[in-house]
Structure 1
């Protein structure tokens, strides 16, 4: 009896902790306000005589908060130990005067010149052991003790000054933390300490890294240096050492953010939140490793010289940027938002075209529709000098005229105020959507290990899981991106795309989910390695063979010009990227088979019933995703759900009682909404860059 009670108590405690954390996060944002809007302003770039004019303009345009101090360390601490906040006090006072809240930022991303001159050891070293110089952002060694001391002092000074100010709503830490590789002496020592904590003994390290290969063996931790592909060479890389280096960099970055958060917590009000602005495509930083942030925000620059969907795509941006980031960053704290969104042409793209009118507004609606609680734009004024002078703002170079993006931001904010009037609390997700509820399981470590050993140039490591999100959204499903610690029972369908590294506990969790009635989709390149990136001493993907009811007997890749053929339900599909050859067990259903190559007739996709649910294994990766979409459609229907069929680039969401659609495609699309629907914003015919908001 006791054995059954203890797990129940622990489960109840865990659920209560999750609920408390969720409540703590949600209290920062009013549900009835739907979303709050802000703008980056850099008073240090402009004459003091213009500050009040600018702040008043921000208020008049409809913004609700101002983002300050991010890159202003030089102005807050012009000399070591001498702090000056009088100028910042004045700007904060102007914000209060014009009824604007303030989002304060810690300036750790841009160190002042005196630090590099007097303390060069505080800067990183690159893979050629060259010390970084003063002149840009993000070059400090975040593990260097002296740099940490300087950060501690400036953050504490800011926190003491603004931590109890009721007009300061929160804090952004650093800027676009990217877990940058650092080969400096400080980092080498920090890495050795990280390894000691992880492995305890050098023998365990040698086993994990496979150092018996090519005489890489270590006699002590002191012999270990960061594995450096610049000097070892690509062919000589140790994938296990490099995986640990990525883990260390991500842990160091997370710990650095938590370090700053802890300083703030000693001084700030509980009403002030702490976040940061990860890049939308974050391949280094891992937000779920932080412990002390309230939630994670992201930056989104969808358009930087890429072709995208159709002839207008180069003006509309990459739909996948906000699509994935808006779901991915909710893993931390349960909410998210776009902290830095592109206001117009940028200066860093392969080419920097004008945006199609309406595009910025569409991006804002996309972030909002996907659950964003805040939408902030970089930046208010287009700067007249410096590396980003070609990067647009919401105000043009004359300092007073709104840019096209600024006009669209004003339109968005005006429309949000109207939607707030339509908001009704407590509205539940419609049942037709709940029956399609879908999660994509994602762990950044799988990106690291696969991208190091892709085996084919055609493998798009980051966008492989994103394509399953695109497919699920095209079928009308609400989609979350979740870590493996999440509760899978909340979802009708769980997709596990290319989850290369697993352990027995995770596979057991998947099995339980299916047994209890879930529909699990596992793809190729899953469970091929253990958590250290070693192959199993057994069959390929051995840990999941029992679950999927099949063995992976071999894998194949074709040339770019190769023509692979898969047959399913008398329909042919092309592939040339990746294929697993499957040997099904008795009772396992074959859904698709290869129809050419020397292994014609071998199974490519299998399905098995387990308890109340099903597990489908997709062993082939197609470029046009038609096979995967047809499979997902069938799975939803068999699970009792209806499906939609939205074209590429059209995304539909439900949030807080509102349906919302955006169109990244180059063609008009007519939304098939019920005749009884009430259109609040937009029209049924969704033009390129168009949006539609309605209630049913």
Structure 2
């Protein structure tokens, strides 16, 4: 009988923030600003080429080498027999050429002997078909046999390299994503998770609403993982599916923590433990981990999208960095890009050449946003197998740098020059600090809304990102924070479509505003409780007092229909979502609907709250001009000045440096004060341009 691991309930790490500032870390020197690295796979290449490659990596300016990520078969060629002789040679070459080493646990790619000996260690998909080895991330994280194999190889690696002073840290797994697992082991683990959460089957029946369509359970043994493949979209139970997402995320987090614990019992305290979440990570939840020192992310900004202007398809989408760079600092206070796209990829809808300098711009973007690591996947473009067309730092001959490689070389050279200009203890300019903004986010809101969008026009993932873009265009430093964060560090807090809430959370928001903060709340906030149920009362009942209005109803228009809203005499178009608001006495009406049968009703309201204010934006528009106007007015009313950067231009301040990047197809000239000194780039930012300056 297969054993399963009893999973813990979810948890959230509380981190205190200083708005938009990289936090000091025992693993990185502040004066280094950012540390650059590269993925290298010696197992892909003849041993006779290893020294040439490691030497080239060092000569290009890289500072560390990322190793062993997918090499389980090489380290444990047969079960229980470990061979690190090949890895020792590569590590020693890195030492010879004064390169640090970042090791990765190989849990994402199980060896063939695992499938042959223990086929039950793989996940089952929604059709109950067993996966096999041959790609990444298909091991069942609740299979004790799989976990035992992972623990053994991780512990063997840790004993081998855990005290090596040239090893700076460890990455556990690769791009954890909480893949849905319907295997017998996962079914059993899910039931254990539910029993821990609900205690009684009656409580589960109530939370899941199983009285609907005769879904009632008599005991936990009757419960199975909700499977939309078998009941169809229409038959889904949103509450059961929400819990399955939570269980899967908890499973993923605990699996990472298990590896971190196995490492930490053998490695030096100076070696960090991290993982590399994908930039758009909708399955795993970084905030559930407890044992990682910090989290990093992967960023692939260009995969065939049109993006901004006629050159946008060569410049990439800034959203791949914008959200991740700020969100993953929530785990441990620091972050960085572990896997940066080096050029064209093999999976995009089409894969164009990048505009020269684009990879450099992406690197500066991650650096400007507070990144401590800038690492790229990968050094050499492979000549065979499934990623042949995925670019590397080197072309297929192994000796010629790609355009991305040249961008990396230039970036590393410039960073070393910037280090000479670093001065410790420089405080954020007061003008920017006065705009400090936090966006509160919880992936569970994404899970809930994405299951029941109500309109095909609702862009679930990009809704909070849109507010980041608006705040950045106004010159505000932005952090993405969990609901447990201390909000008092921020002058402004945005709550974007926070569908799942409770009274305690709403009280925290109210206290923030009463104590002098300025809160901006959007539509689809507090519409449901934590189980995903509507309130037995008005729409979004818990926030009625907070926003000073009642949500009477919600409207949506067709894709081609446009409604009209008036704000300060100006007209704005909407079509995605519209809350019809009935303001209470003393609440200011900021904007009203100017057509439809409810013409004259409030669309946006604002009220004073103690020393602060609360603004409710009941509308979602495509172009975001209305929302940006309201956000700018909120900042200005609170005494903060604002900028007006065009779409695609992002400006940051960190460690005494101002930095700007340009994802747009048109040039933009920055308005710099007279006492500025340009350190990198030119005042006029061309497409893919970078500008770094200091103000004296």
- Partner residue, 2:233: 234
- Partner residue, 2:463: 464
Distance verdict in 2 for CA 1:346–1:153, change over 3 Å: same
- Partner residue, 1:52: 51
In the alignment, the residues of structure 2 paired with residue 333 and residue 149 of structure 1 have an alpha-carbon distance, to the nearest angstrom, of 28
In the alignment, the residues of structure 1 paired with residue 30 and residue 97 of structure 2 have an alpha-carbon distance, to the nearest angstrom, of 24
In the alignment, the residues of structure 2 paired with residue 375 and residue 563 of structure 1 have an alpha-carbon distance, to the nearest angstrom, of 43
In the alignment, the residues of structure 1 paired with residue 609 and residue 153 of structure 2 have an alpha-carbon distance, to the nearest angstrom, of 57
- Partner residue, 1:351: 350
Q: Is the 8 A contact 1:122 1:147 kept in 2?
A: yes
TM-score, scaled relative to structure 2: 0.97
Unaligned runs of 5+ in 1: 1-13
Deviation of residue 134 (structure 1)?
1.9
Distance verdict in 2 for CA 1:403–1:17, change over 3 Å: closer
Q: Is the 8 A contact 1:303 1:315 kept in 2?
A: yes
Q: Is the 8 A contact 1:327 1:479 kept in 2?
A: yes
**Cα deviation per residue 1:524-566 (whole Å; 9 max; x = unaligned)?**
0001000000000000000000111100000000000111010
Distance verdict in 2 for CA 1:486–1:15, change over 3 Å: closer
SS at match of 1:171: strand
Q: Is the 8 A contact 2:278 2:297 kept in 1?
A: yes
In the alignment, the residues of structure 2 paired with residue 151 and residue 304 of structure 1 have an alpha-carbon distance, to the nearest angstrom, of 33
Deviation of residue 25 (structure 1)?
6.9
Q: Is the 8 A contact 1:637 1:643 kept in 2?
A: yes
Deviation of residue 266 (structure 1)?
0.5
Q: Which moved more, 1:234-243 or 1:128-137?
A: 128-137
Deviation of residue 203 (structure 1)?
0.5
In the alignment, the residues of structure 1 paired with residue 219 and residue 466 of structure 2 have an alpha-carbon distance, to the nearest angstrom, of 44
In the alignment, the residues of structure 1 paired with residue 208 and residue 167 of structure 2 have an alpha-carbon distance, to the nearest angstrom, of 48
Query: Structure 1 residue 38 and structure 2 residue 69: aligned?
Result: no
- Partner residue, 2:394: 395
In the alignment, the residues of structure 1 paired with residue 193 and residue 596 of structure 2 have an alpha-carbon distance, to the nearest angstrom, of 48
Query: Structure 1 residue 486 and structure 2 residue 481: aligned?
Result: no
- Partner residue, 1:152: 151
Deviation of residue 176 (structure 1)?
0.2
Q: Is the 8 A contact 1:605 1:617 kept in 2?
A: yes
Q: Is the 8 A contact 1:25 1:295 kept in 2?
A: no
In the alignment, the residues of structure 2 paired with residue 683 and residue 15 of structure 1 have an alpha-carbon distance, to the nearest angstrom, of 40
Q: Is the 8 A contact 1:25 1:333 kept in 2?
A: no
Deviation of residue 133 (structure 1)?
1.7
- Partner residue, 1:506: 505
**Cα deviation per residue 1:85-139 (whole Å; 9 max; x = unaligned)?**
0000000000000000000000000000010011000000000000002211111
- Partner residue, 1:597: 596
TM-score, scaled relative to structure 1: 0.97
In the alignment, the residues of structure 2 paired with residue 188 and residue 57 of structure 1 have an alpha-carbon distance, to the nearest angstrom, of 49
In the alignment, the residues of structure 2 paired with residue 136 and residue 587 of structure 1 have an alpha-carbon distance, to the nearest angstrom, of 60
In the alignment, the residues of structure 2 paired with residue 87 and residue 357 of structure 1 have an alpha-carbon distance, to the nearest angstrom, of 37
Distance verdict in 2 for CA 1:334–1:24, change over 3 Å: closer
Q: Is the 8 A contact 2:15 2:331 kept in 1?
A: no
In the alignment, the residues of structure 2 paired with residue 511 and residue 156 of structure 1 have an alpha-carbon distance, to the nearest angstrom, of 48
Deviation of residue 16 (structure 1)?
11
User: How do 1:91-106 and structure 2 match up within 5 A?
Assistant: 91-106=90-105
Q: Is the 8 A contact 1:521 1:618 kept in 2?
A: yes
- Partner residue, 2:9: none
- Partner residue, 2:211: 212
**Cα deviation per residue 1:425-475 (whole Å; 9 max; x = unaligned)?**
000000000000000000000000000000000000000000000000000
In the alignment, the residues of structure 2 paired with residue 16 and residue 102 of structure 1 have an alpha-carbon distance, to the nearest angstrom, of 28
**Cα deviation per residue 1:261-317 (whole Å; 9 max; x = unaligned)?**
000011000000000000000000100100000000000000000000000000000
Distance verdict in 2 for CA 1:359–1:17, change over 3 Å: closer
**What is the Cα-based RMSD across aligned positions, in Å?**
1.3
Q: Is the 8 A contact 1:25 1:294 kept in 2?
A: no
In the alignment, the residues of structure 2 paired with residue 598 and residue 290 of structure 1 have an alpha-carbon distance, to the nearest angstrom, of 49
In the alignment, the residues of structure 2 paired with residue 284 and residue 221 of structure 1 have an alpha-carbon distance, to the nearest angstrom, of 25
**Cα deviation per residue 1:168-211 (whole Å; 9 max; x = unaligned)?**
00000000000000000010001000000000010000000000
Deviation of residue 18 (structure 1)?
9.3
- Partner residue, 1:10: none
**Cα deviation per residue 1:219-248 (whole Å; 9 max; x = unaligned)?**
000000000000011100000000000000
SS at match of 1:367: helix
- Partner residue, 2:276: 277
Query: Structure 1 residue 565 and structure 2 residue 589: aligned?
Result: no
Distance verdict in 2 for CA 1:180–1:16, change over 3 Å: closer
Q: Is the 8 A contact 2:503 2:542 kept in 1?
A: yes
Distance verdict in 2 for CA 1:438–1:543, change over 3 Å: same
SS at match of 1:429: coil
The runs of at least 4 consecutive aligned structure 1 residues that moved more than 4 Å come to: 14-19, 22-25
Unaligned runs of 5+ in 2: 1-12
- Partner residue, 1:3: none
SS at match of 2:240: helix
SS at match of 1:299: strand
SS at match of 2:606: strand
User: How do 1:476-555 and structure 2 match up within 5 A?
Assistant: 476-555=475-554
- Partner residue, 2:258: 259
User: How do 1:154-173 and structure 2 match up within 5 A?
Assistant: 154-173=153-172
In the alignment, the residues of structure 2 paired with residue 132 and residue 231 of structure 1 have an alpha-carbon distance, to the nearest angstrom, of 18
SS at match of 1:411: helix
- Partner residue, 1:203: 202
Deviation of residue 73 (structure 1)?
0.2
In the alignment, the residues of structure 2 paired with residue 443 and residue 139 of structure 1 have an alpha-carbon distance, to the nearest angstrom, of 26
Q: Is the 8 A contact 1:345 1:352 kept in 2?
A: yes
In the alignment, the residues of structure 2 paired with residue 619 and residue 25 of structure 1 have an alpha-carbon distance, to the nearest angstrom, of 39
SS at match of 2:537: coil
Q: State how many pairs are aligned.
A: 681
In the alignment, the residues of structure 2 paired with residue 495 and residue 159 of structure 1 have an alpha-carbon distance, to the nearest angstrom, of 42
